[in-house]
Chain A
Amino acid sequence: EAQVTQNPRYLITVTGKKLTVTCSQNMNHEYMSWYRQDPGLGLRQIYYSMNVEVTDKGDVPEGYKVSRKEKRNFPLILESPSPNQTSLYFCASSIRDFPLLEQFFGPGTRLTVL
């Protein structure tokens, strides 16, 4: 089954404790992206990757890192999480980035930073 998986689905952590949210897709997609969703603000793009070793900032990249060492994986790294990073995070992938075709979204990761 074609899908985007994220782990963990739920995470409660404390300020400053490094964490990684994994994202994996099995569709051989070139384009992958991370979004955060907050009440009243909609979905905002954090980082995206057009292919292996190619990443770029989205609209809200501060406090986040990403890497794309393999085509299927695109982890989101929070080196020193803060409470304002409490949010619902979605990973997405698409077969190509221009024009951006259908994006497949993961189920989401709900992160709480205390």
Chain B
Amino acid sequence: DAKTTQPNSMESNEEEPVHLPCNHSTISGTDYIHWYRQLPSQGPEYVIHGLTSNVNNRMASLAIAEDRKSSTLILHRATLRDAAVYYCIRDDKIIFGKGTRLHILP
């Protein structure tokens, strides 16, 4: 099964860190993990991707478990503009699924 598993929704306060989990227990050693987000009324946008080690960019950090069966997208300081649906996908099978709807409380 090439799917990933994410919580349906999460809530966080503005200006606090957010940790969005994703399980991908059947992933192979060569499959990348990608994260996208979809803001209201927009197409998805790329956030970050990684293979084994933790990754950082201007938008977020990606922490990948040592066994690669799970990963966590970290938004270091959430803003209201980060309210979106976040998708975790693996590149052996492009399945966006339903993602996690992130609510940010002011």
Contact = CB atoms under 8 A, between A and B. Distances in A.
Chain B: interface secondary structure?
loop
Contacts of A99: 30-32, 51, 91
Interface residues of B, number: 20
B95 A59 contact: yes
Interface stretch (B17-25, B42-50, B71-79): B42-50
Interface string A25-43: 0000000010100001111
Contacts of A59: 95
B96 A44 contact: yes
Contacts of A42: 87, 96-99
B34 interface: yes
A22 interface: no
Nearest to A41: B98
Interface residues of A, number: 24
Contacts of B42: 107-108
Contacts of B32: 99-100
A73 interface: no
B21 to A, nearest CB: 17
Which of A58, A103, A106 is most buried by chain B, counting CB atoms within 10 A of its CB?
Answer: A103
Contacts of B55: none
A78 to B, nearest CB: 20
Given A100-B32, A107-B42, A33 B49 contact: no
Interface of B: 30-32, 34, 36, 42-46, 49, 51, 87, 91, 94-99
Given A92-B44, A99-B32, A102-B49, 7 more contacts: A42-B99, A99-B31, A100-B34, A100-B91, A103-B36, A105-B44, A108-B42
